[in-house]
Amino acid sequence: MKSLHRSGGPRQKSRIPWDLVIPLIPLLLWLFLLLIFPHLRLLMLSLMKRGQKSLAEGGIFLGNYLKPFQDPDHLFIRVFIRTILFSLINTLLTLAVAYPIAFYVAKVVKGMRKFVLLVLIALPYYISELVRVYAWMNILRETGFLNYLLVDVLHVMSQPVEFLYNTASLFVVFVYSSVLLMLMPIYSSLEGLPDEQLQAAQDLGAGPLATFTHIVFPSSLPGVTAGFILVFMMNVGDYLIPNLIGGKNNLWVTEMIYNRFIVSTNWNLGAAYSLVTLVLTTFVVWLGLRLTGQTLRGVFSEQ
Amino acid sequence: MLSRRGAQRSRLGRKLLWLIYTLYVLAFLLYLYTPLALTSILAFNDRDIPSFPWYGFTTDWFYNPDFGQAGLEETGGAGNIGTGATGGRMGVFNDVKMMNAIKTSFIVAVAVTTLSLLVGTTTAFLFERQRFFADAALYFVMMAPLVIPGVILGVSILSFGNSIILWLRGIFGREAIRPIATLLRPGLFIVVLGQFSWIATLATMVISARLRRFPIVQEEAAMDLGANRFQAIMNVTIPYLTPAFVSAGIVSFLLSFENFGTTLFLIGNDPTLPILFFSRLRFSITPEINAVSVVLMAGTVLFGGIVMGLGQLRGHMSSGG
């Protein structure tokens, strides 16, 4: 009985609101030690010369941000633009591949068949990205399945060809590894569209195209935005696919960051690369949310 | 007359369109499963090179009972089907490094899952139940890992850990801080922290979503019956959250076990399975890698199936109630 109406009760002993303090401590440790301070440290590193001990000692140095422009081959700028451009193209490709499937699952099949189809589509995505990318290497490499099929079985070609390490294979595997991130949000928003509304449109004489542009697509727009953001982010931040499938001709920002931090260590330059990438992805996400009036939580709970 | 033929033609056209549509869906499923199926088949191929054609069935690439005894029983052993000497083949379960990597991944995943569930629960209660100074700002930071690429989370934590070492060294000297320095250098401790930094966000979201639906009157009823706040939460609210703990737990475990991007920057001398897998892959492709892939697929599909089953069950329960 003593704890009845505890908050605000006159016999309350401790003034410390434990139910606020106890959960606040782990949260603050997490946010400050693992997110805020590390990113501030990254910012500091990016504003210092290589070997500089602190900002107070040598002042702010912008060279890490200017260096990409001063490089004779503009390597980082080229890689940065490629990463963004390819990620955008891939996001559109993924949309084109995923949309008909999402519509099929949401509106065409019903009952048990729908459930089975959903499980079949979702199941491969629980498998590690590394395994899924590696599985494609088994198909595309010079001694892989595709060459076996074309050379030894079908005799279409006389010599095996390396299908890995080019832009086309990069896109095939990128779409493969991101299609579910696009499919699920679109599926959920189409799921909410009542069948009667489609029927009504057709009864009123709308053709398939008009029904699509006036009813289906607008109602799937939240899902499309969510999918767009998820896939774009996943693509820009990916390391495995550009590295294993894209090869040396398709260098990615994440690989350049890795090289600066691990291979030929220049953390200051690597920090600048990281922050530029972070600012870009955040901006794209913000723009997507702003244009469609959604929240980040909404986008991720569609998953 | 003409219109009837036109209608007939359009009906035919529509049928053709549906056929194409259905074929597209089938082609999509083929696209999803062919790479995985081929990799699984190769894992059982009785050939020392990991490629087709099919030479016969073997489980050597998973476990070779004759491993390390090459050449001892050349004459007609039952295990010697197919081409070369079976004795030299190393299966996943013969491979000490691989087994250690699986163990390491497992330990890391258990630690990350436990931490994420604990902090996810307290954080969910905090944001769902309390209003406090700067709560919106903290919520914003808590959600930030969703838009930060894992690679960048990795480098930021790597640099911060290093800067703490340098700072402490300046104050206490190199020797005094050695134990802390080993923790903050690349290694399993910092891998756990790095993975936790974003997996906890997802755990929080899953638990929050369920907590939001909890009818708070039940907690008040328990308190009216004499339970204190803590007892009410432990006996009423926490059991209600159990499904969320299970799905958040499984998702956290899988994401941690499979993590590559963040871990790549924080790993020390003990590789997790994805890191070892990757470095082996860069070196050379072996049939054993196919077998590891199958082990991973089997494990994750099992876990994933449980998550989806739970989701389906929950869907039925909520639509029934």
**pLDDT tens across B92-101, in order?**
877 888 889 9
Share of chain A above pLDDT 90, in %: 37
Query: For residue B45, what are the β-bridge partners?
Result: B57
Of A136, A141, A270, the CB nearest to B35: A136
Of A23, A100, A119, the CB nearest to B126: A23
C-alpha span between B38 and A16 (Å, rounded):
61
**With an 8 Å Cβ cutoff, are A148 and B21 in contact?**
no
Taking CB atoms and an 8 Å cut-off, how many pairs form between chains A and B? Answer: 227
**With an 8 Å Cβ cutoff, are A137 and B285 in contact?**
yes
Q: How far is A92 from chain B (nearest CA, A)?
A: 17
Query: Which residues of chain B neighbour A26 with C-beta distances below 8 Å?
Result: 118-119, 122-123
**With an 8 Å Cβ cutoff, are B156 and A20 in contact?**
no
Q: Which of B91, B3, B128, B55 has the alpha carbon at shortest distance from B294? A: B91
**With an 8 Å Cβ cutoff, are B25 and A101 in contact?**
yes
* pLDDT at residue B5, rounded to an integer: 63
Q: Among the listed ranges A235-239, A285-289, B3-7, B235-239, which one has the minimum average pLDDT value?
A: B3-7
Task: Please count the CA atoms within 13 angstroms of the CA of B24 that sit on its side-chain side.
Answer: 16
Amino acid found at B116: S
Quote the tokens at residue A148: 């076996």
Closest chain B CA to residue A298: B205
Closest chain A CA to residue B232: A3
- Tell me the three state secondary structure of residue A210: helix
**With an 8 Å Cβ cutoff, are A100 and B25 in contact?**
yes
DSSP A259: I
Residue the block writes with tokens 């039940």: B218
The distance from CA B243 to its chain's CA centroid, rounded to whole angstroms, is: 18
Closest chain A CA to residue B280: A134
Neighbours of A156 (CB within 10 A): 8
* pLDDT at residue A9, rounded to an integer: 44
**With an 8 Å Cβ cutoff, are A31 and B49 in contact?**
no
Give, in words, the CATH class of B96-283: mainly alpha
The distance from CA A288 to its chain's CA centroid, rounded to whole angstroms, is: 13
Which whole number is the average pLDDT over A191-205?
Answer: 80
Alpha helices by DSSP H, listed for chain A, are 18-29, 37-46, 55-58, 63-70, 75-103, 111-122, 129-140, 145-147, 167-191, 195-203, 208-211, 217-236, 240-241, 253-258, 267-292, 296-301
Instruction: Give the pLDDT band of residue B170 (cuts 50, 70, 90).
Output: confident
Give which of B160, B204, B284, B288 to mutate to test A binding, by max A Cβ within 10 Å: B160
Report whether B258 contacts B275 (CB < 8 A).
no
Share of chain B above pLDDT 70, in %: 87
**With an 8 Å Cβ cutoff, are A129 and B260 in contact?**
yes
Task: Please count the CA atoms within 13 angstroms of the CA of A59 that sit on its side-chain side.
Answer: 3
Q: How far is CA A83 from CA A77, A114, A266, in A?
A: 10, 36, 21
Q: What is the mean pLDDT of chain B?
A: 84
DSSP A272: H
A62-103+165-301 has which CATH code? 1.10.3720.10
Neighbours of B25 (CB within 10 A): 17
* Interface predicted TM-score (ipTM): 0.85
C-alpha span between A296 and B231 (Å, rounded):
34
**With an 8 Å Cβ cutoff, are A135 and B125 in contact?**
no
**Higher local confidence (pLDDT), A120 or B321:** A120
**With an 8 Å Cβ cutoff, are A237 and B290 in contact?**
no
Query: Which residues of chain B neighbour A33 with C-beta distances below 8 Å?
Result: 160
Residue B22 has pLDDT above 70, yes or no: yes
**With an 8 Å Cβ cutoff, are A281 and B119 in contact?**
no
**Higher local confidence (pLDDT), B81 or A11:** A11
**With an 8 Å Cβ cutoff, are B28 and A101 in contact?**
yes
Q: Which of A223, A225, A221 has the alpha carbon at shortest distance from A213? A: A221
Residue B282 has pLDDT above 70, yes or no: yes
**pLDDT tens across A145-154, in order?**
898 888 888 8
What are the structural domain ranges in chain B? 96-283
Give which of A114, A243, A274 to mutate to test B binding, by max B Cβ within 10 Å: A274
**With an 8 Å Cβ cutoff, are B264 and A143 in contact?**
no
Instruction: Give the pLDDT band of residue B70 (cuts 50, 70, 90).
Output: low
**Higher local confidence (pLDDT), B104 or A191:** B104
Residue B83 has pLDDT above 80, yes or no: no
What are the structural domain ranges in chain A? 62-103+165-301
Q: How far is B215 from chain A (nearest CA, A)?
A: 18
C-alpha span between B214 and B241 (Å, rounded):
8
Write a three-state SS string for chain B: CHHHHHHHHHHHHHHHHHHHHHHHHHHHHHHHHHHHHHHHHHHCECCCCCCCCCCCECCCCCCCCCCCCCCCCCCCCCCCCCCCCHHHCCCHHHCHHHHHHHHHHHHHHHHHHHHHHHHHHHHHHHHHHCCCCCHHHHHHHHHHHHCCCHHHHHHHHHHHHHHHHHHHHHHHCCCCCHHHHHHHCCCHHHHHHHHHHHHHHHHHHHHHHHHHHCCCHHHHHHHHCCCCHHHHHHHHHHHHHHHHHHHHHHHHHHHHHHCCHHHHHHCCCCCCHHHHHHHHHHHCCCHHHHHHHHHHHHHHHHHHHHHHHHHHHHHHHHHHC
* pLDDT at residue A226, rounded to an integer: 86
**pLDDT tens across A154-192, in order?**
888 888 888 888 899 999 999 999 999 999 989 988 888
* pLDDT at residue A5, rounded to an integer: 46
What's the CA dihedral at A137, A141, A143, A148 to 10 degrees?
90
Share of chain B above pLDDT 90, in %: 36
Residue A223 has pLDDT above 90, yes or no: no
Closest chain A CA to residue B149: A237
Instruction: Give the pLDDT band of residue B33 (cuts 50, 70, 90).
Output: very high
Of A34, A100, A236, the CB nearest to B149: A236
Of B143, B261, B301, the CB nearest to A297: B143
**pLDDT tens across B199-229, in order?**
999 999 999 988 988 888 888 888 888 888 8
* pLDDT at residue A131, rounded to an integer: 92
* Cis amide bond preceding B53, omega within 30: yes
Amino acid found at A67: K
Amino acid found at B238: I
C-alpha span between B198 and A191 (Å, rounded):
29
Q: How far is CA A274 from CA A42, A66, A204, A229, A259, in A?
A: 8, 14, 54, 19, 12
Handedness of CA B246, B250, B255, B257 (dihedral sign): positive
Q: How far is B66 from chain A (nearest CA, A)?
A: 27
Which whole number is the average pLDDT over B231-244?
Answer: 88
Instruction: Give the pLDDT band of residue A94 (cuts 50, 70, 90).
Output: very high
**pLDDT tens across B289-312, in order?**
889 999 989 888 887 777 777 766
Query: In this structure, what are the phi and psi dihedrals at residue B45, rounded to the nearest 5 degrees?
Result: -80, 130
pTM for the model stands at 0.85
Residue A27 has pLDDT above 80, yes or no: yes
Q: Among the listed ranges A12-16, A129-133, B120-124, which one has the minimum average pLDDT value?
A: A12-16
